[in-house]
Structure 1
């Protein structure tokens, strides 16, 4: 079988590596130049995109910001999973909010802004603590602005003045006082079977994910069931096929959707080490029509992103249960260079291993690591 992935980054690379043992050949599309490339070496494969589409059993995406004309071409083949509509929802916060409203899925109070002067109405309706997000092309903290008090409104308007809000509206959300950020990763196949991994807790720094822990500590059965119900509502509402990620805010015993990602997701990388079947493996199974695998957690896991850093000691691999995944990129500010998975029998042991890991890393690039290690140890002792 052959799968063609739109996007030639680390997610396509991990799909390739997970597909090999199943006999699934994965090619990637560099969407900037529309060339078909090897997902690991990035070497150009001398076939046309049209030929690659014709030969593939399934087409999929590694990120939602694929040029729309390419998605339309892929959709016409009848082999694009998830569908073009699902991908476009993930790429546009306005479409995403409309989906959540239509399906009755709870999310942050918000308004859509197509003119700067509407920000005054947002303050009146939502309060003076707001998060302003570009409806498209924003990720890892890019395309976001904050208002913490009404006196900052003139400066915010000035910062947004040059934007074409008719073409790319803003989504203005009420700033929540949430307990923590969690995510649910799951998969739906062509027969409508849904399977869901345990909730992961996510720690961000400057809008970018730094550490995920799964299963998240102190998740009640009711909270997990609530997350699974949200996932199922979204997956069935979109007639979704493949892996879907849903990022959530936990406010007491209430989960609110922050955003959705129609693809394999950074907060699901722990599944490569901590589950019987990874998110990448399950995604390939779903889009090619193979039976889904288990979405379990056989150990406590942490995923640590390596961001804008390439110099660290490979002796970190001496830590039992420590796995390094390197993406082979050149260093750039805020760029994800790789990730580290660490597994343990319990949270206290995981905390100890993360403290040991910190000794092998330039800690200024890992601002959440030590505090999370100490937190896990203290939670386990409580």
Structure 2
């Protein structure tokens, strides 16, 4: 079997590695130049994009910002999973909000802005604490602005004045006073069967995910079931095939959906070590028509992103249950260079291992690690 992935970054690389034991050959497309490449070495393969599409059993994506012309060609083959419409939902916040509202999935109160002076109306309707998001091409904290009080409005309007809001509208959301950020990663196959991983708790810094812990501590059965029902409504509503990540805010025992990612997701990387079947393997299983694998957690796990640095000691591998995943990229500020998965038998033991990990990595690049280690150590068995 062969799967062609649009996008040639680390997610395609990890799909390739997950596919090898299954006998699934994964090729990748550099969507910047339409070249078919090896997902690990990035070397061009001796095949054209048209030939690769023809020989593939399934087409999929590693990220949602694939040029629409490529998605249109892929969609015509009827091999693309998830569908083009589902992928575009993840690439466009306006589409995303319309889907959430159409399916009655709870999310933050919001308005769509196509004219700069409509921001005053947003303040009147939503209050003066707002998150302003570009509807396209915003991720890892980019393309976002915060209004904390009405007096900032002239400054915000000036910052947005050069944007073409007719082409790329703004989604203006009421700022949510949430308890924590969670995500649910799940998978749906072509027959409509669904499996979900446990909720993960996500810790962000400057708009980027730094640490995920799964299963998220202090999750009631009711909260997990509520998240699973949200996933089911979304996956069935889109007739989705593959892995889908749903990022949420927890407010008491309520969940508000923040964002959707129609692909394998950073907050699901823990599953490579902490679950019987990783999100990467389950995504491949879904798109080629193989039975889905077990998604339960073996025990508490943490995923720690390595962002913008390569200066850490590989001696961290001395820590039992610690696994390094290096992406082979050139170092750049705010660039995800790799991640570290840590597994343990209890939250306390996980906290101790994360505390040990602090000795091998520079604190300035891992600002959430020490505090999270201390928090986990305090969880009662």
Which category of TM-score, normalised to the shorter sequence, fits these structures? over 0.9
Match of 1:312 in 2: 312
1:36 equivalenced with 2:36 (yes/no): yes
Which secondary structure does the structure 2 equivalent of 1:247 belong to? strand
How far 1:189 sits from its partner (Å)? 0.2
Give the distance between the partners of 1:50 and 1:107, measured in 2 at CA.
40
Match of 1:18 in 2: 18
Match of 1:163 in 2: 163
Query: Pairwise mapping of residues 268-283 of structure 1 onto structure 2 (< 5 A)?
Result: 268-283=268-283
Match of 2:218 in 1: 218
Which secondary structure does the structure 1 equivalent of 2:163 belong to? coil
Which secondary structure does the structure 1 equivalent of 2:257 belong to? strand
Give the distance between the partners of 1:206 and 1:126, measured in 2 at CA.
24
Query: Pairwise mapping of residues 95-110 of structure 1 onto structure 2 (< 5 A)?
Result: 95-110=95-110
Q: Return 5+ residue gaps in structure 1 as ranges.
A: none
Give the distance between the partners of 1:160 and 1:218, measured in 2 at CA.
40
Give the distance between the partners of 1:188 and 1:151, measured in 2 at CA.
46
Cα displacement string for residues 7-45 of structure 1 (whole angstroms, at most 9, x for unaligned residues): 000000000000000000000000000000000000000
CA RMSD of aligned residues (A): 0.6
1:230 equivalenced with 2:224 (yes/no): no
Give the distance between the partners of 1:300 and 1:88, measured in 2 at CA.
33
Cα displacement string for residues 200-241 of structure 1 (whole angstroms, at most 9, x for unaligned residues): 000000000000000000000000000000000000000000
How far 1:379 sits from its partner (Å)? 2.8
Give the distance between the partners of 2:21 and 2:288, measured in 1 at CA.
15
Give the distance between the partners of 1:77 and 1:142, measured in 2 at CA.
34
Give the distance between the partners of 1:265 and 1:211, measured in 2 at CA.
13
Normalised by the length of structure 1, the TM-score is: 0.99
Match of 1:324 in 2: 324
Which secondary structure does the structure 2 equivalent of 1:239 belong to? coil
Match of 1:182 in 2: 182
Which secondary structure does the structure 2 equivalent of 1:117 belong to? helix
How far 1:378 sits from its partner (Å)? 2.0
Give the distance between the partners of 1:356 and 1:364, measured in 2 at CA.
16
Cα displacement string for residues 288-341 of structure 1 (whole angstroms, at most 9, x for unaligned residues): 000000111011100000000001111000000000000000001100000000
Give the distance between the partners of 1:58 and 1:236, measured in 2 at CA.
20
Give the distance between the partners of 2:200 and 2:311, measured in 1 at CA.
28
1:128 equivalenced with 2:134 (yes/no): no
Give the distance between the partners of 1:55 and 1:380, measured in 2 at CA.
53
How far 1:367 sits from its partner (Å)? 0.4
Q: Return 5+ residue gaps in structure 2 as ranges.
A: none
Match of 2:152 in 1: 152
Give the distance between the partners of 1:371 and 1:325, measured in 2 at CA.
23
How far 1:380 sits from its partner (Å)? 3.0
1:58 equivalenced with 2:52 (yes/no): no
Give the distance between the partners of 2:98 and 2:313, measured in 1 at CA.
47
Match of 2:379 in 1: 379
Cα displacement string for residues 90-137 of structure 1 (whole angstroms, at most 9, x for unaligned residues): 100000000001000000000000000000000000000000000000
Give the distance between the partners of 2:116 and 2:42, measured in 1 at CA.
43
1:360 equivalenced with 2:350 (yes/no): no
Which secondary structure does the structure 1 equivalent of 2:360 belong to? coil
How far 1:363 sits from its partner (Å)? 1.1
Match of 2:5 in 1: 5
Give the distance between the partners of 1:270 and 1:333, measured in 2 at CA.
23
Give the distance between the partners of 2:377 and 2:174, measured in 1 at CA.
33
